[in-house]
Structures are given as C-alpha cells and as structure tokens.
Amino acid sequence: MSPLIADTRALTTICEEAAKQDLVAIDTEFVWTNTYHPRLGLIQLAWDEQHSHLLDVLAINDPTPLQILLDNATVTKVFHEAASDLPILRRWCGALTAPLVDTRIAAGFCGLTATMSLNRLLTSELGITLPKTETRTDWLQRPLSDAQLQYAASDVALLPKLYRTLEHKIDQLGNLPWFKEEMASYSHNGYYGETKPDECWRRVSGMGSLSGIDLAVLKSLAAWREQTAQELDKARPRVMKDEQLVVAARLHPKTLADLKKIPDYWPKLIEKFGEGVLAAVQRGLAMPQQAWPVLPGMRLPSAVIKQRSNRILQVVQKRANERQIDPQLVAARKDAEALVFAAQAGKWPVHHQLLQGWRRELTGDVIENLVTGNFND
C-alpha cells in the first residue's frame, strides 16, 4: 500500500498509471449520519494486490484526474455495491463512471445471491476472509491510523481478482451478455440524477392510508421537505419524519398551534420549519383535483392481482433458477404487482423492467400471458 495521496500532482500520476490497466477497482469510505448527502472521506483505487492507493479527498483540491479515469472507456471500473459509490463519486468529481461492473451483481448472475457482502464473497470464491476491525471509523478524522488505512486498502485490493473469478463463472453459464447489459444500465445520467421533489411522496412510508386531497397535501409536504433537506444538507427525518408528514397531510394544519398536534414535532422544529410546513399544506390544498396524485400501488392489490403477481414471481423464480440467476435481480414483488395492476387497468407498461432487455428474454411470455390470463409456462 502506497502513502496517502494528498495532492493533485500525485493523483495525476496514479490515475495515469491506472489508465493503462484493463480493470481498476474503486471503493469509497464516507460518513452519513445526520446530513442529506454522505460526506466523502476517502477513495480507494487498486488494480492488483500490489497496487492499492488511497486518495485523501479532504486534501486534494482538483479531482479532474480521477474524473478522466472514471470516464475512460478503455478501463473497466470494478465496484462492490456500486449503487452506494457512484452518486458520491459523481458529486465529488463530476464523473459518469463507465464502463463498470459490480461484484455483488455479478454474484447474482452465477448461482450466488446478489446480497452477499464483499467479505462473504471473498471467502466463498477466493478462500480469503478480511478482518473487519475498523467498520466504525470516522473517515473524516485526520490523521487516520495505519490500521484504518490498511482496512481501507484491503477492501479494493482483491476486487479485480474476485471479479475475474466471477466473470468466468458467468461466462460458463452463458449469462455474460445479460450481465453486461445490466451493468450498462448503471452508466447513464439518469442513474445519478438528483431526486425530484415532486416525486418524493411516492416513497413516504404510510402514504397508502391517504387518498384524494390528503394525498395532494402529502405530495406538497414531501416536496417541501426534500428541498429543505437539500438546501440545509440535513437528513430528511431531521426536517420532518415520514409519519409526521402523513399526520400533517391528514390534519391540514392552518396555524403553528395546529402543528403541536403532530406527534413528537418538537417546539424547536416548529419554530424552525413551521411556516414552511404550513405553506406546503396550503399549496397542497390549492392543488386542482385533476392534479391530485394517484398511485395504483397505494391500495392493497385485489385477489386477482395478488394471484397473478404470485404466479409471475413463481415463473420468474423458476426461469431464473434455470439460468442460475438470483430471482431478486429479475423482479421483486412490488415490480410484479405494479405490472399486473397497470395491465389490468388497461395501461400497458411498456417501460416496465420485465418488458425490457434481458428480463424480457427471460420472462417475456409471462407478460403476454398476463394479458390473456393464461399462466401456463
């Protein structure tokens, strides 16, 4: 392991060397507690067990060399749990990382589960178990100890070797084209896009109990919370918790005193955010009825929808197991239910993932049978 890279000149040298490789492993260490965005503390690069480098992002002023590397089309970037790292890297250096592979997803294409931790995967495939002694490190503190640096370096040093092992298995099963297609979906701008405030109501826990004007108020409140959390760099619950949004959407508070009826919405929060909450409620109440949000998934599926969803998932599991692909990579229950509901409502969901690409190849006849009601596979 080389010394901590702490300036742009050293970063340039490392990235130029990395650009000569076919595979470069990347990982990040960050702290994410009470902020909207995770706070990046360290980036790790490696192309083999002898070349592992740690980038001190708190000291490097210009990340351009890393951006060039991440955008380099001749170098495949290897991650484990890329979904965690890609938005962080995008925020730090502006890169739309491509091409890339993810060893967690790769595991799901070769007879393993796509939920395996890196350590479990290394033990399973390479017979190596890494010590996990520094998992509670504050990666923003300086200096970092030798033990902490060694821990960070170990997370990437074996990733290229692990990926090559998994890739061989995937290829032997005939799943490599599908895996590469799945990985290509990570490399577009939409994957990194900022959350749209007007869509945040869809992810509020407990929103299924609301309808009509209450749901319109929730949409307005969720958008306000998202914008406020972004502007102040605060975790969403530190502005307003999901359950408090739902209560406010049902109560339609008009005064600061009304906000005291919301469980655990303390006076300090009311003082800081109360006017914003009330304004958001009024915007929701003023929303024209034709603009009120409607989400099919907000109501419990009918018996028919449940039955057909279950059948789709059974067929997905059968087909996926035949190809030694983790069924969860194909479709989860919410995906099946959304598909069945849309089809039954006469809204053919052309953009549903089960109707796209390799999933379509695997399960396409299930989708056709969904319309006809014939579930013989």
Beta strand ranges found along the chain (DSSP E): 23-31, 39-48, 51-55, 76-79, 100-102
d(CA 199, CA 183): 25
Q: Residue ranges of the domains in the chain? A: 8-192, 197-291, 300-372
| β-bridge mates for residue 42, sequence order | 29
Residue linked to tokens 């983790």: 326
The pLDDT tens digits of the residues spanning 188-238 come to 755 666 678 999 998 999 988 898 999 999 999 999 999 999 999 999 999
Rg of the Cα atoms in the chain: 24
Judge if the upstream peptide bond of residue 99 is cis by omega within 30 degrees of 0.
yes
Q: Which two tokens stand for residue 72?
A: 């380099």
Given this model, what pLDDT does residue 341 score?
A: 73
If pLDDT is split at 50, 70 and 90, which confidence band does 300 have? very low
The pLDDT tens digits of the residues spanning 36-89 come to 999 999 999 999 999 999 999 999 999 999 999 999 999 999 999 999 999 999
- Residue 295 predicted with pLDDT over 80: no
Instruction: Give the residue among 88, 32, 34, 40 at the shortest CA–CA distance from 235.
Output: 34
If pLDDT is split at 50, 70 and 90, which confidence band does 298 have? very low
Highest mean pLDDT among 203-207, 270-274, 366-370: 270-274
Given this model, what pLDDT does residue 311 score?
A: 86
Percent of the chain with pLDDT over 90: 74
d(CA 50, CA 364): 46
Say which residues have a Cβ less than 8 Å from residue 282's Cβ, sequence separation at least 6: none
Q: Which two tokens stand for residue 374?
A: 């014939």
The pLDDT tens digits of the residues spanning 83-136 come to 999 999 999 999 989 999 999 999 999 999 999 999 999 999 999 998 878 778
Q: Which CATH number fits domain 300-372: 3.40.50, 2.60.40, 1.25.40, 1.10.150?
A: 1.10.150
Given this model, what pLDDT does residue 2 score?
A: 63
Given this model, what pLDDT does residue 258 score?
A: 97
Question: Do the Cβ atoms of 36 and 230 come closer than 8 Å?
Answer: yes
Say which residues have a Cβ less than 8 Å from residue 321's Cβ, sequence separation at least 6: 327
CATH architecture of 197-291: Orthogonal Bundle (1.10)
Percent of the chain with pLDDT over 70: 91
Q: What is the pTM of this model?
A: 0.87
Domains 8-192 and 300-372 in one fold? no
Q: CATH says 8-192 is which class?
A: alpha beta
If pLDDT is split at 50, 70 and 90, which confidence band does 326 have? very high
